[in-house]
Each structure stands twice: as structure tokens, then as C-alpha cells.
Structure 1
Amino acid sequence: MSDLATVDRAPARGMITLRGDFTSSKLKRAVKAATGHAVPKPGRIAGDGHKGVAWMSPDELLLMVPYEDVASTVDNIASDMGDTHYLTVDVSDARAVFSITGPDANEVLARLCPVDLHKDSFAIGGFRRTRLAQVAAAFWRHDTGFDLVCFRSVADYAEGVLQRSALARKTGAL
């Protein structure tokens, strides 16, 4: 019996937390300039995990850019925002990213997260902050599965529970 999905730890990705007023035209322009995408609606990601933007909360976005472009992107946001109130933080090295791919990738996460992962409820481009077993995580659906972000300090634990959940079992029990 083969595994339900493949779980891989991804190389470091550039991630920037941006907090501010989503109605601000300066913030909207800064996000578009940094990622090539508009501010997404709640529970959505625009783009992908390499260059995109995810809605984290009513005043927080997660910008994803190439790792080597983070410092210049933060500087460009500062220039674009001027004296408008905002906050940017480079969180790239504080996060770990996993790719969960394959036809049953949703089953791997469903075993660990209290989220309805049916494609009718959580379609491609869906983004969710939740718990992965006992740790905070966020993930989004793409065409081949999911990408998941968690704190680097719990990455080994997250990788272990993801790998265990990906194992196919005749009984379905963990």
C-alpha cells in the first residue's frame, strides 16, 4: 500500500508580515508592487508560495517573495508607504514550509487539522490559519496539493506528524 501523499520540507522562502489598513491606497499599491497581486479576500491567497500574498487577519498579510529579495522588498514597502502607519517584519527565517502533494493530500491534513478540506469548501487558492496537531500553522491549496507554513522552532515536530499522517493504513487509524 502506498502513502497517501508526499511530504517535503521546502527550501527557505522569503516571507514578510505586513500589517496595516487594507483600505489604504498606498498599502494596496505596495502589495501589488511587491508581489504582483492585489490584496486577497479573507481566507484566500493570491499567487503562490514563491511570489504572492495571503490574507492572515483583518490587518495582516503574509507577502511571499524570493528569499534573496526580502530586504529590498521591505525597503521598497517603506518607500511606498511613506508616513502611512504600517508594520513590516521579515519572518523568512522564523518559518518552515512543507509541500504536501498527491491525490490524497487533503486526507493527510484532514487527519491533523480541524478544517473541512473538501474541494467544494476549500478550493484552490483557499488559505487557512489553524492548528496542525498541537502547533500553529497556515496552509493553502494549489493544483497539486497544499503548502503549509509553521514556526521553524516546531518544524521537526510538524514534519514528523505530517509524515506519519501521510502513511496509508488499512484500518485508517493513526
Structure 2
Amino acid sequence: MSEATLKARSPLDNFHQDFGNLEIREVTGLALVSIATPLGGETQLEGAMASAYKAELPRVGTSTVSGVDDTRFLGLQPGQMFAMFAHDGDRAVEFVSKKLGENGYYTDQSDSWVFIQLSGTAARTALERICPIDIHADAFPIGAVTRTVMEHLGTIITRTGEDTFVLISARSSAKSFLHAVLTSVNNVQ
């Protein structure tokens, strides 16, 4: 019998770099579960969200945060949202479905993505170089979320704080995505 053991690794090996006015770090220990609304089931899902999470369904382009466990619900398109929450196991769907029941269709997306947090007073300046959408505070307030492209790579961007953004991109191109973000950061330093 083999004595080899497997150990999970994050896509960017827990990358972290502090530039003083800006910090980049890979966020690990997060789950991302897609929740699709059954046909005609929005009212039931809305009720389940209010009961289990003390949160409203997010409108497209916004996110809401649970008052119970800090789960962030990302409103990406009509009839679909992502639930992003702290979770280290492989049972993220089970965690969500226990709370929402049969009021949604669930798919675990956790291992398909890399999560990078950009924070600090220079975060917006660095993102403006590679992000084709308007992320000015008036156009992209705290809680805003959208899909876009950064340096040809598909990205979900959400503003989680005054000077904090979480970027979600495909795990398969995580190193290329980090390179694009780092290059932009280095160009504004």
C-alpha cells in the first residue's frame, strides 16, 4: 500500500504582497456555490433566503451579505446568483441546500476559481489600467458586482469595502491573471 498522501494547494500558493498603499492577496478557504432559481420559484427562494440567511435576493449587479454568517450573494444575472462564503470542506452545496432546501438548484463552483483581493488606497488606480468597466465609487458602490474581462481573462469583480475589491477568475489561468494584476500594480507604484 502506498504511503503517499495528497495535500490540497491553492492556485497561487497563498500569494500575498504588500506595497504599502496597496495589498494583493489570494483568498483561500472560500466556497462558491451557484444558485439557480427554479422556474416560478423566486418567491419561495426569496422567503428561504430571508428565513435562513436574513438576507434579500441580490438584484443583478449587486451583492447582499447574510446577517447570519457573512455569506455574500452575488447577483450575476436574472435567475442565478453565487453564494460566496468561508468553507474549507468539499460539501459546500450541502451547506447551502440545508439552509435553502429545494428552493434552488445548486452547483459547487469552488475549485474552478481563484480569488484575489486587492485592497488599499491605490487599488482602484491599479484596476483602472486593466478593468474596462467604470469602477469609480459613484458608478460601482460597495456591494456592486459584475462580470468583465481583464487582460483577456474572464473576471467577476465585486467591491467589498471602501478600497477593497475581490477578483474572481478561472483557476486554470490563475498565474496569468495574477501576472496581469501585478503588472498593473507595478505600473502605478
* Structure 2 length-normalised TM: 0.76
Name the residue aligned to 1:93. Answer: 111
Contact 1:127 1:140 in 2 (8 A): yes
Cα distance change on mapping 1:95 and 1:168 into 2, 3 Å: same
Root mean square deviation, CA, Å: 2.4
Distance 1:30 1:64 in 2: 17
1:61, distance to aligned residue in structure 2 (A) = 0.2
1:134, distance to aligned residue in structure 2 (A) = 0.8
- Higher RCO (CA-CA < 8 Å; seq separation 6+): 1
Segments ≥4 residues shifted beyond 4 Å: none
Q: How many residues align?
A: 164
Distance 1:15 1:80 in 2: 18
1:113, distance to aligned residue in structure 2 (A) = 1.4
Matched letter for residue 134 of structure 2: D
> What does residue range 12-51 of structure 1 map to in structure 2 within 5 Å?
12-21=29-38, 24-32=42-50, 35-47=53-65, 51=71
Any gaps of 5 or more consecutive residues in structure 1?
A: none
Fraction of identical pairs, as percent: 20
Any gaps of 5 or more consecutive residues in structure 2?
A: 1-18
Matched letter for residue 166 of structure 1: V
> What does residue range 17-166 of structure 1 map to in structure 2 within 5 Å?
17-21=34-38, 24-32=42-50, 35-47=53-65, 51-67=71-87, 68=89, 70-76=92-98, 79-81=101-103, 86-141=104-159, 142-166=161-185
Distance 1:98 1:164 in 2: 14
Matched letter for residue 92 of structure 2: V
